[in-house]
A and B are shown apart, each in its own frame.
Chain A
């Protein structure tokens, strides 16, 4: 790892000021992607500004039907929150299968979403749950937030502070992990919102990162059943194709994972 200067931010304003004072600084949250990337010398920020000690960015609050998860909340806390499990068990289940137990104690929802790894789990849930991404500057609709592989609508000096979404009527996540890396080769989060609309977020498979599958959404909105999406078409041209699985394989996986998720949601 190249040398860097570590700073602990006490607030988002403090973090922005510290970033502004640095040559080529980066925000770090749990660091479970950024630290390994720095060790490989694929990233070499002059300064690291740690967001994990900003109290206002931690914790889960449930206000009636609305769920808000602070950006610095680690995966283990999402996975084991009884309050969250009572209103949206699907997101607890998703969080319980990210990485391994040690990674889940460090990695955060804000870091995962800001990084927008094409195989990350959380972005699919944000898409399906129609979440809003709250930052120190504004609130961004999920459909406007994820702008391509490793790319988001975030500006350089913008920090995710929380994500918020309404509790769905039903939801579930199903993923096919790569047998070696355990990253999703296809992961599908399905949600039936309380207004009756179905939304489907797909991760791991798309050649441009996370996406919504509108064909399946229409089918599931009129008939919430695995059979309803049996004939859905997933465009191979939009799929990743690599040594782990070609585009045709991934297109089929997306459909299989979607059907499993609907069955799991009940």
Chain B
């Protein structure tokens, strides 16, 4: 067992967990923040993407203990009163159908803008989405959403 303390969405949280606990399990089952999803559980789909110390990571492929002491942001932490501009862009551009992949898509999209700037072309967005899988949309409206959301961030 490990006693963990980390900052999640700006608040300090702590918990005693088995060392094998994945970060996504800690977030969903201990903190009850269920916006972060588990899609494939094999490190491929990106539904579980969160930011750890400002970097996008797959929370199903990291132990909670590895994130001990870190600053974690989940989908619940991106809005500030109103929706985050990237969330609004997904809503306005029909960037989701079932919505299961959307939290990871949005966390990846925000990270993409943080790294690559607001002026993102389609080829860059598609290439940067390599680690996020969507079964519904064929990606077309996701790409449009990211392009729109990026310009408004």
Contacts and interface: CB of A to CB of B under 8 A. Distances in A.
Interface string B50-64: 000001111001110
Given A36-B43, A76-B55, A106-B57, A101 B131 contact: yes
Given A6-B66, A35-B63, A36-B61, A105 B55 contact: yes
Contact of A32 (B43, B55, B130): B43
Interface residues of A, number: 26
A6 B65 contact: yes
A35 B130 contact: no
B71 interface: no
Interface in B1-28: 2, 18-20, 22
B121 interface: no
Interface residues of B, number: 28
Contacts of A32: 43, 61
Contact of A101 (B19, B42, B108): B108
Nearest to A50: B66
Contacts of B128: 101
A31 B20 contact: no
A38 B46 CA distance: 19
A1 interface: yes
Contacts of A102: 46, 49, 56-58, 108, 131
A39 B41 contact: yes
A100 interface: yes
Contacts of B111: 101
Nearest to B49: A102
B57 A105 contact: yes
B20 A101 contact: no
B61 to A, nearest CB: 5
A99 B132 CA distance: 12
B57 A6 contact: no
A9 to B, nearest CB: 12
A48 B20 CA distance: 10
A180 to B, nearest CB: 10
B61 A2 contact: no
A22 interface: no
A101 B129 CA distance: 8
Interface of A: 1-6, 8, 31-32, 35-36, 38-39, 48, 50, 52, 76, 80, 99-103, 105-106, 182
Closest 4 CB pairs of A and B: A100-B131, A6-B65, A6-B19, A100-B130
Given A48-B19, A102-B131, A103-B43, 6 more contacts: A5-B19, A35-B22, A35-B61, A99-B131, A101-B130, A103-B58
Interface of B: 2, 18-20, 22, 41-43, 46, 49, 55-58, 61-63, 65-66, 68, 108, 111-112, 115, 128, 130-132
14 contacts: A1-B20, A6-B19, A8-B68, A31-B61, A36-B61, A38-B20, A39-B22, A50-B66, A80-B115, A100-B132, A101-B112, A102-B57, A102-B131, A103-B43
